[in-house]
Amino acid sequence: MAENNKHDNFDFPPVGRKNNKMQKFGGYWTYIIIAAILIGYQFFSMPTNPERISWQEFKNEILAKGEVKDIVIIRNGGKANIFLKPEKIETHDKLVAKGFNKKSTGPQYYVPFGTLEQFEKNLEDAQKEYPEAADIHIDYGDEYNWWADVISILLPLALFIGIWVFFMRRMSKNAGGGAGGGIFNVGKSKAKLFDKESNIKITFKDVAGLAEAKQEVEEIVSFLKSPDKYTKLGGKIPKGALLVGPPGTGKTLMAKAMAGEANVPFFSMSGSDFVEMFVGVGASRVRDLFKQAKEKAPCIIFIDEIDAIGRARGRNPNMGANDERENTLNQLLTEMDGFETNSGVIILAATNRADILDSALLRAGRFDRQIYVDLPELKDREEIFKVHLKPLKLASDIDYGFLAKQTPGFSGADIANVANEAALIAARKNKSAVEKQDFLDAIDRIVGGLENRSKVIKPSEKKAIAYHEAGHATVSWLLQHAHPLLKVTIVPRGKALGAAWYLPQERQITTKDQLLDQMCSVLGGRAAEEIVFGEISTGAQNDLERATKQAYAMVSIYGMSDKIGMLSYYDSSGQSDYSFTKPYSEKTAEVIDQEVKDMVSAAYERAKQLLSEHKDQHRQVAELLIEREVIFSDDLERILGERPWTEDGDTIQPEEL
Ligand code: ADP
């Protein structure tokens, strides 16, 4: 299919498109044949056109000789049709040449006239003049061109229908190139079907890490391949599985790999594909999808971004809830209940917002299994790097483990991006292979944005930025739980004028001390400005925002303040009634505000104190930064001394030192 060439392997024409084309083809041909028959009939049944002749000629040559049998005066046509006596026709060479003969019905001639009265008078005179013409039968008639009438009715109608069809096509095309387009197909599901001919090349080998998730999915594939193995012992095949995890962690990739591995048909569509501007379309698409799937069973249905339709239904129907979406969801729930467990249709869905999904969707019997696809850990990242670096030409200094360490918090998609970005950077520098430094540059770029060395920065501003960043670096160096520092730079990047780069620790839980230390190092920049210049600037806006958010979270979510106590006002279900009102009293709100303020102030004071105690070192760091623009943890170690803690923030025991 030519269409496949344009797209990658996953863009197959939607199901049913081929059939539609066939139907359309047949439809067009019927119309063409009917039109041809009509035109042909007109053409063949038309009498031979009469010959034009002037009044004078008619009077002298034909009327005078008594050759005329009838005259029919066509009032609305401004002419008179002349019918000759049959035996006289063949004496007219002109007529014979035109194909007239004895049997032709006629008229054979017509005479145009100016006014009817004048013509009648002329005719009367001529009849009086020539006795041969006295017995001519004269009649009156009107001529109807029914063909013109038909066209005058049909043309506007055809035009109207044409415009209507054109707009309907455009509309359904804009809505995602539906199944074969066309207004009559809006209710059809837009699922793409992958089957044996589709030749999907992605397999589980391309999905790195995610061992548990992979195992679950592999199990589903094997259910479909040999259901007997499981049903023999009385087990039921699960109806559906929900892949949950942050964006870019490989949920779609996993589904594609499943399509590649399972040799069963695979329907893929996105949650938003169900919903259209027309009411009722979503539900009908769900029905159509399941109908198609049942016909092809055993098979897999994959719904990406299911939160688009699966969002929890509103409690208050008058609040402008999205009825169309709810109808679609209801239909999905009904369909999932409706088919037998052993019918061999398995539904796989992906979302990064499992918390907002309707609880009815999550109950056992619908999505029986929830598979968590989390951000990759160190080991997984190493694996993902291996997959994505395979197609690159690498220098010998590449260490996958090192790269994995440099990318905490990166998703699989981010890592794929790093690999690609590094290759581009190396190519820009005309290197023959991608080196370690290219990867580090790529990581910096992805974390911090593009370097912007051409930004004009005044020397006084540069000094302020340097002292600000040195403040962050110095404070975090001196705090036990702050993230280990990687480097500090005052090269503008993206929107930031400078940055201290940390290597965030991968923690499953974070203690209060750790959070407070982080807050303190975030405020180190503003503290440095105040101590060194006695003047504060707008440069700390982002720092203050982060500190404030963190403080509010600590007080109102994590229950880390004494005055508020062990209360958490966070609603993970997203279904609270508090969307417009606070779940606490005004008095509590005041206490929360005060607690947050105290917490941030205390952290700020601590940062200021640390900087005052190490004023000299702070100045050295800043000066070095002004000189070099980028400094690394080694430089800090030289100035501030070795940190007495391990990378994880644990105290190093004397024997380890
Ligand atoms: P999402 O979870 O948002 O559906 P995708 O599956 O679309 O994420 O992932 C986007 C891209 O990230 C993939 O095409 C792939 O290149 C890369 N990727 C993500 N996770 C992995 C992984 N575990 N192994 C290999 N590549 C991955």
pLDDT greater than 80 at residue 654: no
Two tokens at 34?
């009917």
Q: Which residue has the higher pLDDT, 55 or 452?
A: 55
In the chain, how many domains are there?
Answer: 5
Q: How far apart are CA 330 and CA 642, in angstroms?
A: 62
Q: Are residues 31 and 77 in the same domain?
A: no
* Ligand 1 mutation pick, 202, 203, 249, max ligand atoms within 8 A of CB: 249
pLDDT digits (tens, 9 = 90+) for 536-579: 888 889 899 999 999 999 999 999 999 988 999 887 765 555 55
Two tokens at 169?
């096509």
Q: Which residue has the higher pLDDT, 328 or 15?
A: 328
Domain CATH number, residue 438: 1.10.8.60
Could you tell me if residue 154 is inside a domain?
no
pLDDT greater than 90 at residue 306: no
pLDDT band per the 50, 70, 90 thresholds, residue 79: confident
Which atom number of ligand 1 is nearest to the Cα of residue 208? 24
Could you tell me if residue 26 is inside a domain?
yes
pLDDT band per the 50, 70, 90 thresholds, residue 485: confident
CA of 388 to the centre of ligand 1 (A): 10
CA 111 remoteness from chain centre = 72
- Pick from 344, 338, 176: nearest CA to 270: 176
Q: Are residues 561 and 639 in the same domain?
A: yes
Q: Are residues 85 and 198 in the same domain?
A: no
Domain hosting residue 262, numbered range: 185-372
Ligand 1 in contact with 308 (CB < 6 A)?
A: no
Ligand 1 in contact with 209 (CB < 6 A)?
A: yes
Q: How far apart are CA 155 and CA 494, in angstroms?
A: 60
Ligand 1 in contact with 243 (CB < 6 A)?
A: no
Q: How far apart are CA 174 and CA 176, in angstroms?
A: 5
pLDDT greater than 70 at residue 42: no
pLDDT band per the 50, 70, 90 thresholds, residue 16: very low
Q: Are residues 339 and 257 in the same domain?
A: yes
What size, in residues, is the chain? 657
pLDDT band per the 50, 70, 90 thresholds, residue 314: low
Catalytic residue among 335, 469, 529, 595: 469
* Ligand 1 mutation pick, 207, 253, 386, max ligand atoms within 8 A of CB: 253
Q: HSE, CB side, 13 Å, CA atoms: give it for residue 531.
A: 25
Contact 62, 84 (CB under 8 A): yes
Instruction: Spell out a b/e string for 325-334, using b for 16 or more CB atoms within 10 Å of the CB, else e.
Output: bbbbbbbbbe
Q: Report the pLDDT value the prediction gives residue 312, as an integer from 0 to 100.
A: 73
Mean pLDDT of 575-593: 79
CA of 209 to the centre of ligand 1 (A): 11
Quickly count: other Cβ atoms within 10 Å of residue 8's Cβ: 8
Q: With H, G, I as helix, E, B as strand and everything else as coil, classify residue 519.
A: helix
pLDDT digits (tens, 9 = 90+) for 317-368: 555 556 777 888 888 888 887 766 557 788 889 988 877 788 888 877 788 7
pLDDT greater than 90 at residue 483: no
pLDDT digits (tens, 9 = 90+) for 170-201: 766 555 444 444 455 666 666 677 766 666 67
Ligand 1 in contact with 250 (CB < 6 A)?
A: yes
CA of 627 to the centre of ligand 1 (A): 41
pLDDT digits (tens, 9 = 90+) for 100-137: 877 777 788 888 988 888 888 888 888 888 887 778 88
Q: Are residues 515 and 639 in the same domain?
A: yes
Ligand 1 in contact with 416 (CB < 6 A)?
A: yes
Q: What's the one-letter identity of residue 137?
A: H
pLDDT digits (tens, 9 = 90+) for 594-642: 999 999 999 999 999 999 999 999 999 999 999 988 888 888 889 988 8
What is the CA angle 611-518-626, rounded to 5?
Answer: 45
Ligand 1 in contact with 268 (CB < 6 A)?
A: no
What is the CA angle 513-514-516, rounded to 5?
Answer: 65
pLDDT greater than 70 at residue 302: yes
Q: Report the pLDDT value the prediction gives residue 648, as an integer from 0 to 100.
A: 64
Looking at 415, 448, 481, the residue that finishes a domain is: 448
Could you tell me if residue 431 is inside a domain?
yes
Q: Report the pLDDT value the prediction gives residue 50, as an integer from 0 to 100.
A: 84
Q: Are residues 229 and 196 in the same domain?
A: yes
Ligand 1 in contact with 248 (CB < 6 A)?
A: yes
Looking at 417, 448, 479, the residue that finishes a domain is: 448
The chain-wide mean pLDDT, for the chain, equals 81
Q: How far apart are CA 524 and CA 604, in angstroms?
A: 7
- Please name the residue whose Cα sits nearest to atom 18 of ligand 1: 412
Q: Which residue has the higher pLDDT, 213 or 456?
A: 213
Quickly count: other Cβ atoms within 10 Å of residue 97's Cβ: 9
Q: Which of 72-81, 267-276, 410-419 has the highest mean pLDDT?
A: 410-419
pLDDT digits (tens, 9 = 90+) for 130-142: 887 778 888 888 8
Which range among 84-93, 172-181, 277-286 shows the weakest confidence by mean pLDDT? 172-181
Contact 213, 243 (CB under 8 A): yes
Q: Is 469 one of the catalytic residues?
A: yes
What is the CA angle 354-356-360, rounded to 5?
Answer: 85
pLDDT band per the 50, 70, 90 thresholds, residue 22: very low
Q: Reading across the β-sheet that carries 109-112, which strands appear in turn?
A: 51-52, 109-112, 79-84, 68-74, 137-141
Which atom number of ligand 1 is nearest to the Cα of residue 207? 24
Instruction: Pinpoint the alpha helices (H) of 58-184.
Output: 86-89, 93-98, 116-129, 146-174
Task: Give the DSSP H/E element, type plus range, for residue 413.
Answer: helix 412-428
Could you tell me if residue 194 is inside a domain?
yes
First to last CA, the chain: 68
Q: Are residues 34 and 55 in the same domain?
A: no
Give the rounded percent of residues in the chain with a pLDDT score beyond 70. 84
